[in-house]
Structure 1
Amino acid sequence: MDDRPGSLTSLRSRNRLLVLETVRRHGRISRVGIARATGLSRTTVSSLVADLLAEGVLTESPAASPPGAASRGGRPATPLSLNPEGGGLLGVHLRHTDVRVLLADLSGGVLGERHRVIDVDHKPDQTLEFVAETALDLVATEGRDLGRVFGMGVAVSAPVQSRSHTLNSPSMLTAWSGIDIAARLRDRVGMPVHVGNDANLGALAEWTYGAGRGVHDLVYVMLSDGVGAGLILDGRLYEGPTGTAGELGHVPVVDGGYVCRCGNRGCLETVVGARALTSAFSHVRGPDTTIADLVALLAADDPGARRVVADAGRMIGRALAGVCAMLAPRLVVIGGEVAAVGRILLDGVRDELARRLSPAIGHDVEVAAGRLGDRAEAFGAIVLATHQTSAHLLKP
């Protein structure tokens, strides 16, 4: 069959994905609702839905009528939803210091999860072997058919080429230079594998499942060992032509500051990254201070912890001010490991944005905590797999 761009087969594949995306974003929606939301004809929607129901990807669940409701005649609209039993997807987050692997059903429900501390930056072979073994073990443990796991998404802490999904800046992950992550994992797990920047995928996840649902313009800030941002503009992820849009962590905020891993001085990451915040307390609590320790100090109303976190929030607000002035997003979502420090950090961001932005822009920008916690980037990898995979789920 002809699946070249512009062919009828290619068009049908895109329409199938459009239907699946519409059902996923609404949760439950009728055929008529899909036609209205997508602009596809009712005939086309009915044909695509019939195929997806036959394949077990979608399921019907008749809506119950309210007690005493009078019948209006005709066939009632039957809501459709993704069938949790229809298949699965894998999401992986490769942070600098640890790995998370999720197995989810088609509706985004977590079926299984594994996490391990690994020196990802310097041990690519060990990292990829753990991911492959863990993914296959999760599928087997949960009793799923590997042939119905339609793809794997991988979130990495480095810029990624938006078209090829290969690392764009291996200089920040020197041990990974020349490694084709997608190909290595695809050969081991036997399914399509797609790679994306973790902050971008965190933005996709919060927009799809979390704090950004229903918002068409948002900035997601990932605060972890590194600092990044993902941009959703007019309902689409914006990566830039080279995949480097959103590198907020490498915006200089301190003249003559510490040297960053990117080679510059005074980058935001050197001030508000997890290591920077915990090192502020290492002289009194020892070198093993963690973000959890910092959260505990905040709960105990420690004045030093409050000061460090509030200052970090203001630094983030300083770096975001130019972004918000240019793009005027409706929402800034703060996520990642460091976001667990909570309200004081968010208040610092809000205060600095209010001070630096004109009232016309500042009044319209909301700052909120992410809802997906440290799973956000792995969930975003699952969204990437849903969008990109060319497996059976998306083929006519």
Structure 2
Amino acid sequence: MIDGIGARGSQSSLREANSAAVVEAVRQYGQITQVELAAVTGLSPATVSNLVKTLQSAGVVQTTATVRSGRRAQAVSLVRSSDLSVGVHIGRRRVEVIVADASWTVNANQHLPLPLDHRDDTTLDRIALLVGELTEQVGASLDDVAAVGLTMPGVGGAAYETLTGWEQLDVADQLTRILGRRVLAVPEVAAAAVAEARYGALRGVGSALVVRASSTTTSSLLVGGQPLQGLGVAAGALGHVSADPAGRICRCGARGCLNTVASHLALADLLRVTHGPLSLRAIVQRANDGDPGCRQVVSHAATAIGTAIADAATLLAPERICLTGALTATGDLFTDAVRAVLRTRPLLPSGEGFVVVGECEDAEARGALAVASDGMDPLRNRER
């Protein structure tokens, strides 16, 4: 609705609807300028300015001076609420937990290393303790937690993609029982995509293909800042497109999937004779330290992943490609190889800005938190 053109009902109802649109945009983006608010809501800058003043007087939002593109601007954010959100990312070798308020300010966070093939009961108990400790750290309790988002390997995908020994466990349900708070499960790549759209490399981008290159490769298509929901476990499974028709049998049962040539297991297998068993983190670190073998396998993986991205981008025509995941920590070694493949496709954009690298630290945990908090109403318990 734009400034009441063709509006039905009273002016007060229209103003309430426009106020709700402004608050929703601020909640989604955490902090956003008034110019950006006008763009995302379709309201005029003057209307946005008046609504922000009213909401500020009501104690719903606050403004701070900032700089955008070298110009002064007023950034709008929600006033801190007693409602907290928690984001949890259970990885193969570590867990991240973050606690944030309604203004998207991360008030506390903690990383915890995990042993290989860690047990579900022990890990979930540790997470529950961490959540309790972090909420106490910010002067709150579990009663103040309104939303908990969880992401981990296998969520939203096939059971064989999840952590070893966790295949039959409904992790969100189990953690809900332990915490006494509803837990929403989000696929890892979708969580990372939402984080980048809300306050990372994809702010203001209409559509993007987000590719998470880590232990395996997954993807998510963002449209209007939201991941498209697929029709089954294969949605976004970029790691299961064919990369070598005569290659190895994948865990999914197909032959030569991308994950058979560009996953952690595939890279570690190539290095096993000369380097012994290596974690993905060790491969990335050694590649950054100049180890020739580790640099070779990362470059090989990037080329294979880049080919799959090029095929997907040719079909879907996103405005941006966003690379996330552990392999991007090797910097130009990985990203330059992906860009080199994309440059061979005449139908794809050739500008440097077409491929971006994710900017959000702990993107999976932050994105899971964001998705879980989407059901929170910043206007509740306030007088209208």
TM-score of the two chains, using structure 1 as the length reference: 0.76
1:3-22 equivalences under 5 Å are 18-22=21-25
1:236 correspondence with 2:226: yes
What corresponds to 1:342 in structure 2?
Answer: 331
Structure 1's unaligned 5+ residue stretches are 1-10, 65-76, 161-167
Structure 1 position 147 matched with structure 2 position 143: yes
Measured in 1, the distance between the counterparts of 2:292 and 2:168 equals 47
How many residues matched? 356
- Percent identical pairs in the alignment equals 32
Give 1:131's aligned residue: 127
Within the alignment, does 1:94 sit opposite 2:84 as a pair? no
Asked whether the equivalents of residues 92 and 155 of structure 1 are also in contact (C-alpha less than 8 Å), the reply is yes
Which of 282, 290, 313 aligns to 2:302? It is: 313
Contact 1:313 1:349 in 2 (8 A): yes
Q: What is the deviation of 1:221? A: 1.2
Out of 83, 102, 107, the residue aligned to residue 106 of structure 1 is: 102
State the match for 2:360 in structure 1.
372
Counterpart among 204, 212, 219 of residue 214 in structure 1:
204
Q: Which amino acid aligns with 1:295?
A: Q
Give 2:122's aligned amino acid: Q
> 2:155 and 2:189 mapped to 1: Cα distance?
9
| Paired residues of 2:86 and 2:99 also in contact (CA < 8 A) | yes
Query: Residues 290, 38 of structure 1: CA spacing in aligned structure 2 closer, same or farther, 3 A cutoff?
Result: closer
The answer to whether residue 257 in structure 2 is matched with residue 275 in structure 1 is no
**CA displacement at 1:80 relative to structure 2:** 3.7
The question of whether the paired residues in 2 share the 8 Å contact of 1:207 and 1:213 is answered with yes
Q: Which runs of 5+ in 2 are unaligned?
A: 1-13, 67-72
Alpha-carbon contact 2:99-2:135 (below 8 Å) kept:
yes
Q: Partners in 1 of 2:159 and 2:17 — Cα distance?
A: 33
Over aligned residue pairs, what C-alpha RMSD do you find? 3.6
Q: 1:61 is matched by which residue type in structure 2?
A: T
Residues 221-230 or 363-372, more deviating: 363-372
The equivalent residue for 1:7 is none
Q: How does 1:1-396 map to 2 (within 5 A)?
A: 18-24=21-27, 25=29, 27-29=31-33, 37-38=40-41, 50=55, 58-61=60-63, 80-84=76-80, 86-118=82-114, 123-160=119-156, 169-173=158-162, 175-177=165-167, 179-242=169-232, 244-288=234-278, 290-300=280-290, 302-355=291-344, 357=345, 359-363=346-350, 366-373=354-361, 375-389=362-376, 393=378, 395=380
Q: Contact (CA 8 Å) 1:223, 1:274: kept in 2 or not?
A: no
Using a 3 Å threshold, how does the CA distance of structure 1 residues 19 and 310 change in structure 2: closer, same or farther?
A: same
Distance 1:12 1:186 in 2: 38
**What is the CA deviation profile of residues 183-220 of structure 1, one whole-angstrom value per residue up to 9, with x for unaligned ones?**
32223323332111001111111121211122111111
Query: Do 1:223 and 1:337's aligned partners in 2 also have CA atoms closer than 8 Å?
Result: yes
C-alpha deviation, 1:251, in angstroms: 1.5
How many angstroms apart in 1 are the aligned matches of 2:173 and 2:205?
34
Q: TM-score scaled to structure 2, two decimals? A: 0.79
Asked if 2 retains the 8 angstrom alpha-carbon contact of 1:238 and 1:245, the reply is: no
Distance of 2:191 and 2:18 partners within structure 1: 23
